[in-house]
Amino acid sequence: MNSNIKRAVSLAKLKSKISSTLLIHGGRVIDPENGINDIADVLIVDGKIAAVGNVVNFETHDEIDATGKIVTPGLIDMHVHFREPGQEAKEDFESGSMAAAAGGFTTVATMPNTSPVVDTAALVRAMKKRAEDIDIINIEIIGALTKGQKGLELAEVGDMIEAGAVAFSDDGHFDSNARVFLNALDYLHSFNKVIICHEEESTLCEGGVMNEGPRSALLGLKGRPTVAEDIAVARDILLAEYSGGRVHIAHISSANSVEYVRQAKKRGVKVTAEVTPQHLTMTDDLVDPSDASTKINPPLRGQKDVVACLEGLIDGTIDMIVTDHSPHAPEEKDREYIFAPSGFPGLETSLGVLLTDLYHTGKVDLVTLISKMTTKPAKIFGLNGGSLTIGKNADVTIIDPNLEWTVDDKEFYTRGSHSPFIGRKLKGRAIGTIVKGYLIETNQTRVSLVHCD
């Protein structure tokens, strides 16, 4: 455990020194839920949002000067892989939580494709207890939809809901058995819970390592075609429409799939979708067989797919942005492209990439970006967060939109070091992450607490 994680795990000592009243002064507050986009103060009392506006006449407090900065609800990422239980060499709740805090995230949801798979109430409870013991950020637990994620029979989803599972997914696997999937939709409908769908028809992707197209042909690498995603998305939309259940399309990447979701929403189907920064900003032209950092699942697509995802984000077809934070041990990624596992860590680079490539280029406005990373995921998954509403937990992110920095894996908290963004110069970064009223100190923290009497 590195020294920064030790410092985070010892937060109880830091908390005892912090006043119960914290004022974040003079920042541009963006709270899409409450329609706020203005210079304002945010007052936090006993870990809750107490006031937003021109705050005066308050008692002894700690203060953060946010002049020239952006103050938002704490960022939320509903798709991360923290690798517990059983794969801690890749990541664990401590390193993952610190990576999240460094990236400005106050709440994340972990996927269940671990070892063993999180497919029982006992494991959900164990993971929630583990998160409480770490006590750095808020960690939600996603349970497996089927036993062992094998797609053959439902896991004990009812018991997992009672234990605190926030949603269900066989992420990493497409549930090819339509009858089992329909049974899941019918059963979870009464609980108003969401199924997060990994959409790739597996028989069309077997052996594929990148997007199927001119680039894969040039490189001589077997491809994963967009039609594999399209078929899966279309099927799950139809089953959701038939059953009245809720489906959420994970890491959407195909232009046709975006259009299927758009049309389904117009018909009233209960479908939502997420997209990653990499599928909004990168294409398969960047695939280099000598560098496995670009190997992800679904793969980087063509330019028309990137444009379609961006359009879907802007017009509301795509509801949220997630990182699909997928760290691997260095020795796993330091292999030939065809043998390396898919995925790379994204929590510490996500915001910077989005601000640099989308906001500063004028492609997406700041309010839209913040909404897709706060309000929207909170609403869809029923979280107690995503806004600065009075009385809610004081989860807050402070952003310097103009801070220029270079991505350096030596500064990462995550255990995964293979990222296609290493060495990139970015503009914009989270400089302060506050969870339940307490500032989480990381090596990216650029704000200071000042005690005022």
Q: List alpha helices for 37-92, DSSP H.
A: none
Per-residue model confidence (pLDDT) at position 416: 95
Give me 43's structure tokens. 């007052």
User: Cα–chain-centroid distance for residue 57?
Assistant: 38
User: For residues 7 and 100, which has the higher predicted lDDT (pLDDT)?
Assistant: 100
Per-residue model confidence (pLDDT) at position 453: 73
Note the pLDDT tens digit of each residue in 260-291. Answer: 999 999 999 999 999 999 999 999 999 999 99
| DSSP 8-state secondary structure symbol assigned to residue 195 | E
Residue with tokens 């997007």: 211
Q: How are beta strands 438-440 and 396-406 bridged, if at all? A: unpaired
As a whole number, mean pLDDT of residues 425-442 equals 96
pLDDT band of residue 60 (cuts 50, 70, 90) is: low
pLDDT band of residue 4 (cuts 50, 70, 90) is: very low
**This prediction's pTM:** 0.96
Instruction: Decide: 344 and 418 in contact? Cβ < 8 Å.
Output: yes
Nearest to 382 by CA among 164, 169, 179, 65: 164
pLDDT > 70? residue 9: no
Task: Say how many C-beta atoms besides its own lie within 10 A of residue 206's C-beta.
Answer: 9
Instruction: Decide: 185 and 245 in contact? Cβ < 8 Å.
Output: yes
pLDDT band of residue 12 (cuts 50, 70, 90) is: very low
**Helix, strand or coil, per DSSP, at residue 148:** helix
- Provide the total of helices (H) and of strands (E) in the chain, helices listed first: 15, 19
Catalytic residue status for 324: yes
Q: State the catalytic residue, choosing from 236, 324, 357, 400.
A: 324
3-state helix, strand, coil in the chain (%, to 5): 35, 25, 40
Instruction: Decide: 31 and 390 in contact? Cβ < 8 Å.
Output: no
Per-residue model confidence (pLDDT) at position 17: 53
pLDDT band of residue 18 (cuts 50, 70, 90) is: low
